[in-house]
Chains A and B, each alone.
Chain A
Amino acid sequence: MRNLKACLLAATVALATLPSFSAFAANGDTLKQVKERGLVLCGVHPARHGFAAPDSKGVWEGFEVDYCKAVAAAVLGDANKVRYVPLSSQQRFPAIQSGEVDVLARNVTANLSRDTALGLNFAPPIFYTGTGFLVRADSGVKEVKDLDGAVICMAPGSTTERNIAQIFAARGLKYTPVVIENNKQLVDAYVTGRCDALTKDKAALPGVRAVDTPKPADHVLLEGIYSKEPLAMAVRQGDDQWYDIVKWVVYATFNAEEMKVSQANVDAMLKSDDPDIQTLVGTIGDNGAKLGLDQKWSYNIVRQVGNYADIYDRHFGPSTSIALDRDLNRQWNDGGILYGQPMN
């Protein structure tokens, strides 16, 4: 009896003094943890060709993978110090909320409810796209109104489900959704003809057509973009310093392209006389100290990963299998809407 009592007492004390376990990020915590760990934990798409997918040797590559690398280059000075955490669309928000990843670069569309109700902060969009449709070339479908009554395959948990409902309702059209989480099963359902169309962000569809369909020529992308999908990196609310870092990593890649500082010429640019370029490559100014980073942070991004054009062309450029027109993703002075805030 006495034993039992002592045991109960100990257990009660233990329970009462348990620290409340928290994933809440206080200002400065994330940077400290990343530096201690020596690794950036980056949440990425498990298999979206062009954005993030392991290659045949299991090495991660893609547009968003490069942005994970850019964060690592800026924070740790080494673009390879990243651990990629593949996340389904269901898992991605809990993963960033709980602190399982430091930054989410996983085809996330920035919008108001995610910014607020999910407790996230969005860095500037790195890729502007919209809902697109992949259909069979022999189906005769040329635009969305030809899809009246069609069965449409889509992934759950994305903004796509909502956009499709709006696109079809606005045009007075009917459709039947088939919602499958597993990407392989989803694409398979479209390829075998269960669905008349596959819908995803338009930027993701060329990758599906090139890699997942047995005969890419049998499938066409519908012209036009039917919704706004600004894809952005997300961090948790509550750590403003980390949010600033991710935000300025993005602007650094924009500004480098605008100033024509690329991976190829960045070392030559160290001798530039232009104060803007000198600030970017870190020969003058104290931007690094302001962000809590090394003075060479933006130089490291461009040197190790590249400017926006380097990153874009590596994955969507004309020489790749999924060549995509840059469209809105050009610099503001070139007809696009990428506009890096000044780094002074």
Chain B
Amino acid sequence: MSLSSSSDRGSSRRSQMAGVVYSQAFRSAFYQVVLAIFVLLAGYYLYSNVVENLCAQNIATGFRFLSEVSQFEIGERLINYSARDSYFRALVVGLLNTLAVSGVGIIVATILGFTVGIARSSSNLLLKKLAGCYVEIVRNIPVILQVIFWSVVIRNLPPPRGAVELWGAGFLSNRGLTVAMPNTHPSHGWMLVALVAGIILSIITAGFIRRRNDATGKHVDSLWVSLLLIAGLPLLVWLFSGAPLGMSIPERKGFSFSGGSTLSPEFVALLLGISMYASGFIAEIVRSGIQATPRGQIEAAKTIGLKPWYITRYIVLPQALRVIVPPLTSQYVSLSKNSSIAVVVGYPDLVNIGNTVMNQTGQAVEAVAIMIVVYLSISVVTSLVMNFYNRLVAIKER
């Protein structure tokens, strides 16, 4: 182009322009930019309209309210909190409650879902049909009804005075499940450290054993070594710190119980509702994963004399996980969003606390914005972690 003479420079520039305009890359970029500008403009319009109207109506705006004293109590909390703390701390209490119920919910849903999913693909007809019934029931009843159902069931348990005693270790009543807990002891923190160390060590040794197996052709299962490390290290720490055995045993006192730890009815109802609902979907995902493994491979594995457990562990699971993990991610994300049903039963999750904050300060736009950002972050982090795991189990193309 640089060599073209001055007379045809104009026309060549035009054709160059036309080339750019009609190029695939330019066009797709152009549409994207236009779309982005429109989204931004629309967003700005909505934002400025809201701010303008709130100002005109003398309604306070901004996030300054977060540092003000909340003046309300919260029933369940994982960190210290009282009515003298700030709205910000109240929202953190709510966030931690949301994370607690979602985290435990994901674990429960996964265990239930995998168990039922494996049972559904079992050759035992009774087991298979029972698992099928379970899936159809929990999957087809709206999650909000399931949460209310469990909350009604728990509320109709006997009151504290007539609570069901659990072999001296706790009570089951309409105030929740109260169980004996070890008294707090300085060794507990170290046991946690030992647990984490055990998990890291077990991953390292598993890698080492796998390489050794590959190199020698012998087979040593790393599972037992891993279990020993994970359970053994904290146990060792406990023994060396004098094996503290003090337990806080719950007893009836006043309106309910003193001592021990209590899982509140609201927490349990919400946990059961959202995790059973998700477990139905997870079971189906697991079943599809298992059935995705070609039968021929399993038959071949049997022919060379592999035991059933080895077939599951080394042939079926690695291939099933590839199918299971991506849809499992969206189940985890939707479970953590479903936890906002907490408002119905009164579990103080982020939405519940956010509603109270919204009402006391009147700053609905800000409070809702905080909730949106938090749920978005939880979902994105869940997806990122699961995508990372997916990359671990996916087929490595070399």
A194 and B53 contacting across the interface, CB-CB below 8 Å: no
A13 at the interface (CB under 8 A from B): no
Q: CB-nearest residue of chain B relative to A192?
A: B155
B296 at the interface (CB under 8 A from A): no
| Chain A residues, CB < 8 A from B21 | 1
Q: CB-nearest residue of chain A relative to B364?
A: A94
B355 and A90 contacting across the interface, CB-CB below 8 Å: yes
- Could you tell me the distance in whole angstroms from the C-beta of A311 to the nearest C-beta in chain B? 28
| Chain A residues, CB < 8 A from B12 | none
A166 and B49 contacting across the interface, CB-CB below 8 Å: no
Contact with A along B184-196 (1 / 0, CB 8 A): 0000000000000
Task: Give Cα A161–Cα B352 distance, bound, in whole angstroms.
Answer: 13
- Could you tell me the distance in whole angstroms from the C-beta of A99 to the nearest C-beta in chain B? 10
Task: Give Cα A236–Cα B57 distance, bound, in whole angstroms.
Answer: 8
Contact with B along A161-201 (1 / 0, CB 8 A): 11011101100000111111110011011001110100000
| Chain A residues, CB < 8 A from B254 | 148-150
- Could you tell me the distance in whole angstroms from the C-beta of A204 to the nearest C-beta in chain B? 17
B59 and A118 contacting across the interface, CB-CB below 8 Å: yes
Interface centre among B21, B59, B265, B358, by most A CB within 10 Å? B59
B361 at the interface (CB under 8 A from A): yes
| Chain A residues, CB < 8 A from B358 | 90, 157
B255 and A157 contacting across the interface, CB-CB below 8 Å: no
- Could you tell me the distance in whole angstroms from the C-beta of A259 to the nearest C-beta in chain B? 37
Task: Give Cα A186–Cα B148 distance, bound, in whole angstroms.
Answer: 12
- Could you tell me the distance in whole angstroms from the C-beta of A8 to the nearest C-beta in chain B? 7
A307 at the interface (CB under 8 A from B): no
Contact with A along B356-398 (1 / 0, CB 8 A): 1011111110000000000000000000000000000000000
Task: Give Cα A177–Cα B75 distance, bound, in whole angstroms.
Answer: 5
Determine chain B's interface SS by DSSP, over half rule: helix
Interface centre among A93, A97, A148, A176, by most B CB within 10 Å? A176
Give the A-B pair count, Cβ closer than 8 A: 141
A22-B53, A94-B364, A179-B346 are known contacts. Are A151 and B175 too (CB-CB below 8 A)?
yes
A21-B49, A149-B255, A165-B72 are known contacts. Are A237 and B57 too (CB-CB below 8 A)?
yes
- Could you tell me the distance in whole angstroms from the C-beta of A300 to the nearest C-beta in chain B? 31
A selection of 23 A-B contacts at a CB cut-off of 8 Å is: A20-B52, A24-B53, A24-B56, A90-B355, A114-B362, A117-B362, A119-B59, A149-B256, A151-B75, A156-B343, A156-B355, A157-B355, A157-B358, A158-B359, A162-B360, A165-B71, A179-B75, A180-B343, A181-B346, A182-B344, A185-B148, A188-B155, A189-B155
Binding site for B on A (CB under 8 A): 1, 8, 11, 15, 18, 20-25, 89-90, 93-94, 97, 113-114, 116-119, 148-151, 153, 156-158, 161-162, 164-166, 168-169, 175-182, 185-186, 188-189, 192-194, 196, 236-238
Binding site for A on B (CB under 8 A): 21, 34, 38, 41-42, 45, 48-49, 52-54, 56-60, 71-75, 83, 148, 151-152, 155-156, 159, 174-175, 254-256, 265-266, 343-346, 348, 352, 355-356, 358-364
